[in-house]
Amino acid sequence: MPSYSLNMKSSLVILIMLFLSTTNQSKASVITDWLQYTPGADRFHFSYVNDLGVTVAQAELTITNGSFPPFSPSGGTLQSEFWMAPLSYTDSVFGNSSVATTKIQVAPVAGLAKFKLALSGADLSGLVFSVGQLFSSTTGGTGAIGITATLAGGGSAAVNFLGTENWDDGIRFYSQPLNWGPGAFLSSAAGADGESAFAFFNVPTDLGVVTNLVLDVPNAYAFGSGDAMEFAFATIPEPQTYVLAFGGMLLLWKRINNNRSQILRRRI
């Protein structure tokens, strides 16, 4: 009983945080649920889970050329205070601009590193996502990344490019320009030397149900052990989702406390 009660208390605290964060944020910033990277049966299969513990998307990593360091992929965080300009998104739990990311690094073999990150879900329309930390230098860098979204009934949906943001914590500088060009390709700007900024996108909601999102990296950094890139995915939660969950948890909390009181009275 004590451990069960503790779990209920923890859940209640989390839901209170979610409720407050979705009802007290500035209208100038979008409340965003950055999905958490969750390891799967192997390193090539993982999932993305929202704040309520619901799996939003399954992910598959396919490496067609290169080797996979043991620490890849891994979850990370871009802390709120290091964005160089106010971010347009507010995390639904922490109430700031922190962004949960997935770091992926593929080491080149025979001078080539090539992989794809594919997400699938019941409906990915409205998904917000970010891609960044593409390395480039005068000797070479990560090539253009192709981004495609697929509709449930077939065909593709063009994702919307929202702009780029710089992040700098005094040690890591993610600020080199990125270009979003024809053919749905994201690339480092010509002449850039260093780690790129983060590009933000969303999947359209007016074209139908989107079931797949693929990020194709045909020419990752081809020197040494390769270079880690970061990806982030988020949903825009509807406030009533948390209100209903909060109310349901309160009712369950009340029922458990009533049952506990009855048990105590019987013991007395």
- Token pair 């649920």: residue: 33
Model pTM above 0.95: no
pLDDT for 132 beyond 70: yes
Give me the torsion for CA of 123, 128, 133, 136, rounded to 10°. 80
183 phi/psi in degrees, rounded to 5: 85, 10
Lowest-pLDDT range of 46-50, 62-66, 133-137, 253-257: 253-257
63 phi/psi in degrees, rounded to 5: -105, 115
With respect to residue 255, please indicate whether it lies within any of the assigned structural domains.
no
pLDDT for 13 beyond 80: no
Sign of CA dihedral 44, 177, 129, 246: positive
Number of domain units in the chain:
1
pLDDT for 149 beyond 60: yes
Average pLDDT for residues 203-215, to the nearest whole number? 96
With respect to residue 13, please indicate whether it lies within any of the assigned structural domains.
no
Give the integer Cα–Cα distance in Å for 59 and 116: 10
pLDDT band with cut points at 50, 70 and 90 for residue 248: very low
Residue-number span of the structural domain to which 99 is assigned: 28-238
Helix (H) or strand (E) holding 13: helix 2-23
Give the integer Cα–Cα distance in Å for 187 and 181: 8
Question: Cβ of 142: how many Cβ atoms within 10 Å?
Answer: 24
With respect to residue 199, please indicate whether it lies within any of the assigned structural domains.
yes
- Give the pLDDT of residue 138: 76
Burial degree of 214 (CB within 10 A; 0-12, 13-18, 19+): middle
With respect to residue 249, please indicate whether it lies within any of the assigned structural domains.
no
pLDDT for 118 beyond 80: yes
Structure tokens at 163: 């702009």
With respect to residue 145, please indicate whether it lies within any of the assigned structural domains.
yes
pLDDT band with cut points at 50, 70 and 90 for residue 188: confident
pLDDT band with cut points at 50, 70 and 90 for residue 114: very high
With respect to residue 12, please indicate whether it lies within any of the assigned structural domains.
no
With respect to residue 204, please indicate whether it lies within any of the assigned structural domains.
yes
Q: Which residue has the higher pLDDT, 13 or 32?
A: 32
With respect to residue 144, please indicate whether it lies within any of the assigned structural domains.
yes
- Give the pLDDT of residue 214: 98
Among 39, 24, 8, CA closest to 92 = 24
Give the integer Cα–Cα distance in Å for 140 and 135: 9
